[in-house]
Chains A and B, each alone.
Chain A
């Protein structure tokens, strides 16, 4: 019996410790501090995207706080696991937290869709770094993000055609095999890529391979049987790495092209330099290491422990800096932030100008960059 009591005491004290910590951390709000919320998947199957993005938000904030500003900024980090049902629980909480004056995120379109009602009801301005679903900024959509939703990433309507154009550029009699990963992101991009392919090339076939599939040999078999000379993949980097490797090992010699979900330093790393060589990638999000200064990269690595930044790091960095710019101008309220975002003009890390249109997309910022991979490095080619 005694042992049991001890054990339950241990559980109870562990619980008090946890709950106690929370009480302390929520009470420690200093004066002249405003909060930005960050919403992305940090645990669960989609954690990689959110964890990568979080490094950028942290980094931008550390740069800002290092300048000893009069208003301190802290992050409220909310993990939505990239899932709509979790976002629906998280969003009302952040919306109700009056200290939060801006939201970086949500990272995923589905989570954004589920979060919008709560944020709209409380007028919390938000800038997403990676929600690419077209309907979020479409004025005709049944539920769009007007007026609070902004994004610093090109939506599928811009990226899809650019991807199709770039993929078949310079290919004589292109025949395209289109593969998506059956996620909201991949399917959405594929749906907007397809019409452009139909216009300029022949579609040899298409397939939807669910995320986290290990074995792509049956798709490779189909690609080979169809005689396609261009393969376009709409999905994320880990799966793209497996797919392109299977394609090259299976003897496919044509072009491999993919969208911004794949454009990150870990892609050539995971696929192997030989397999990734020459892959054509598009993104409105340029690789962070290409646009950051050397000193910034050193500081970034020191802060996060990561030397190869992942996807959407640049866009998250930009999104965070846009909020920080407004705060530097003296904004400390949600309506103030909303006005600042709607009216203001901002500088991206690459020196580009960011201005939002009425429904939240970047004005003229839909320029999608074309990249390729040379000897394991991502190389910028041109505007696609």
Chain B
């Protein structure tokens, strides 16, 4: 027990926890969207995230030719580089999501497989993604250059409001509410919600099921890709095995809030991010996962369907 750390670092831990939480939220949307529609856990999402972190590095170093020891950029060049990397990572992950659905889900859905069949084919897909990346990168960590100079807005109550922390939080909020509006307001979003309520009836209503499912994977991939970009920008390094821990945290996020529930994922992620920070600060980092899972069990005992209950369609009821 180390409570002394709270005296000076309480708000700092909160802030960092929120920033981490938003990355969890964005990854967990990859699980949430798919679960909402198909009622299946998309276990390959963690590796989609991993590919996204490499896509960010490729965009910055490979395509835009920034050296790994480059000086931070500024002005238009900075905005252009960051935006390009973000869009590149999102698109790569989005299309990878569609690909995952094609190889791991499409045929199994047509054959009417049981949920566990999907689980294993998704895990097989993630093994393939993981090992391919590992071989391509010689198992080595890859560094993203510090293109964004990490200046600080200043310290408030011991919490350091650094540009990347603030950027993650603001962008997280923007992306989340854009998605929320998309799902609740647009035609396509309504189609997703319809499929999530009943596959059979939405087919009768003339909805192209495969297209909606692909779209769901695409959107899940987009947010996961955004998370990968922010992760790479904040931590500036990635490795082929980065997916497992973050994927697990994001999956926990999704369950905490109620799998398939967008707003549940939002609050679940923020809660988890902050909880992790305090658990490792007070009890020691080695007890972090134990604390997280214990809290998860307690939450589920009180609310067996997560804090906010299940399903995408309920976001607007």
Contacts and interface: CB of A to CB of B under 8 A. Distances in A.
A342 interface: no
A208 B4 CA distance: 18
A48 B139 contact: yes
Contact of A207 (B143, B160, B242, B284): B284
Interface range on chain B (Cβ under 8 Å from partner): 35 or more
A272 B143 contact: yes
A215 B16 contact: yes
Contact of B69 (A241, A249, A376): A376
A214 interface: yes
Interface in A52-101: none
Interface residues of A, number: 40
Contacts of B280: 207, 209, 218-219
Contacts of A221: 5, 9, 12-13, 16, 277, 281
B83 interface: no
Given A222-B5, A225-B4, A242-B235, A210 B285 contact: yes
Given A225-B8, A249-B150, 20 more contacts: A48-B139, A205-B2, A207-B280, A208-B286, A210-B285, A212-B242, A212-B244, A213-B285, A215-B235, A218-B280, A219-B285, A221-B5, A221-B9, A224-B8, A249-B162, A250-B160, A266-B141, A270-B141, A270-B143, A310-B140
Interface in B128-170: 131, 134, 138-141, 143, 146, 150, 160, 162
Nearest to B10: A221
B241 A45 contact: yes
A134 interface: no
B65 interface: no
B141 A43 contact: no
B281 A222 contact: yes
A273 interface: yes
Given A43-B134, A212-B245, A266-B141, A225 B7 contact: yes
Interface in A197-232: 205, 207-210, 212-215, 217-219, 221-222, 224-226
A238 interface: yes
A217 B277 contact: yes
12 contacts: A45-B241, A45-B244, A47-B134, A208-B285, A210-B289, A214-B246, A221-B16, A242-B237, A245-B236, A245-B237, A272-B69, A272-B146
B282 to A, nearest CB: 9
Nearest to B6: A225
Contact of B9 (A215, A225, A242, A245): A225
Contacts of B241: 45, 212
Contacts of A270: 141, 143, 237
Contacts of A249: 150, 162
A225 B11 CA distance: 13
A112 to B, nearest CB: 21
Nearest to B244: A212
B126 to A, nearest CB: 13
Tell which of A51, A221, A245, A270 has the most Cβ of chain B within 10 Å.
A221
A231 to B, nearest CB: 14
A269 interface: yes
7 smallest A-B Cβ distances: which pairs? A221-B9, A47-B139, A217-B16, A209-B285, A208-B286, A48-B139, A218-B280
A270 B17 CA distance: 24
Nearest to B159: A221
Interface string A178-193: 0000100000000000
B286 A209 contact: yes
B68 interface: yes
Interface in B229-262: 231, 235-237, 239, 241-242, 244-246
Nearest to B165: A217
A330 interface: no
Nearest to B286: A208
B192 interface: no
